[in-house]
Chain A
Amino acid sequence: MTGGSETGGRVDSPAHIPEPLFSEIVAAVGGARPSEFRGQQRIVVPPERIYDALAVLRDRYGFDMLVDITCVDYLNYRGATDRFGLVYVLTNTEQNKRLVIRCYVNDPNPAVRSVVPLFEAANWLEREVWDMFGIRFEGHPDLRRILLPEEFTAHPLRKDYPLQGRGERHNFPVITRESG
């Protein structure tokens, strides 16, 4: 998969986690393939461990803020072995450290455990990922669409969804002068 070996230009960022601590975090979350790109550090964890990994990071390492959850569809991506890559961006607001946790899920039924019990901010972020990519978050309190209309049936940021849609944008009644 992506990541692993590439390192971008070294950036002396205050958000950079120094080395003995970073290795300790990788071991603590049961992660693999730690990587770095332009000072941004990433750890890949298995999807079934994502909840425990974020719990450890929040409680033991002070990553108390969930900045973002998003997703990448690697369909037809060169060298990709998994379909969807989930991205969790965490911040330690005490020490100003940042960390990206990734996990990969696949068809059929791509799903991970919801982290709403850990971070309230995950509620809408997970709903957005569900809306756009169709990743199911087990245990989410209210997993509804957040941006698209409720009657929408597809997950449009998947790469196999056509750019111009499947006719959803034209599925409306026409109002004429007489009927309006």
Chain B
Amino acid sequence: MAVNELPDNVAITNLDQLVSWCRKNSLWPMPFATACCGIELMATGASRHDIARFGAEVFRFSPRQCDLMIVAGRVVMKMLPVLQRIWQQMLEPKWCISMGACASTGGVFDTYCVVQGIDRFIPVDMYVPGCPPRPEQLLQAVMDLQAKIQREGTVFGREFAGEKAQQPKRALRENP
């Protein structure tokens, strides 16, 4: 039988593509909601916006069962070791969405106790601007992350091992 005469419901792909397709449609979020962005995160999970349409409705409060961390809200310096520990407890492959201005940059809280962007200390895949962002924006981030997983994903996570993946997104320095 020639290759171009496949029977119905049969498709040819490679394993990376197949695994990435499975992973991207069953993201289990870890809601690290510390502030008002967490309210929008809850609204995203509720029936009107319904994140279940993207296979990501299973919010788990144990990091052992999650593969998508959504950091929603400001992170203070006393909370950051907790955030890092929870990130390390999550199983690989794992991704991170930095939701809102505070999680991404510190927002208006440019004070001694608020971390000026979580991407200085943990890897971040998607940033969502807004204060707080609309649920549509978070859904767009989930869709973009799904596209990224489909595009780059590999069975054994080679995309996380490259040198570029190790570099922090921003230089670690204090503003004068």
Contacts and interface: CB of A to CB of B under 8 A. Distances in A.
22 contacts: A148-B113, A162-B112, A163-B111, A164-B110, A164-B175, A168-B113, A169-B115, A170-B115, A170-B174, A172-B84, A172-B121, A173-B84, A174-B168, A174-B172, A175-B87, A175-B88, A175-B123, A176-B166, A178-B160, A178-B166, A180-B84, A180-B88
Contacts of B172: 170, 174
Q: 6 smallest A-B Cβ distances: which pairs?
A: A165-B112, A176-B166, A177-B160, A177-B165, A169-B77, A175-B122
A156 interface: yes
Interface of B: 77-78, 80-81, 84, 87-88, 110-116, 120-123, 160-161, 165-168, 172, 174-175
B174 A175 contact: no
Given A148-B78, A164-B175, A170-B172, A175 B121 contact: yes
Interface string A77-107: 0000000000000000000000000000000
Contact of B120 (A156, A167, A170, A178): A170
Contact of A177 (B111, B113, B123): B123
Nearest to B173: A170
Nearest to B116: A169
A180 B161 CA distance: 11
Interface in A95-139: none
A172 B161 contact: no
A58 B120 CA distance: 52
A149 interface: yes
Decide if the interface of chain A is mainly helix, strand, loop or mixed. loop
Contacts of A164: 110-112, 174-175
A176 B123 contact: yes
Nearest to A147: B78
Contacts of B114: 169
A61 interface: no
Given A149-B78, A168-B112, A178-B161, 7 more contacts: A164-B110, A168-B77, A169-B115, A170-B172, A174-B168, A175-B87, A177-B160
Given A169-B113, A170-B172, A174-B172, A180 B122 contact: yes
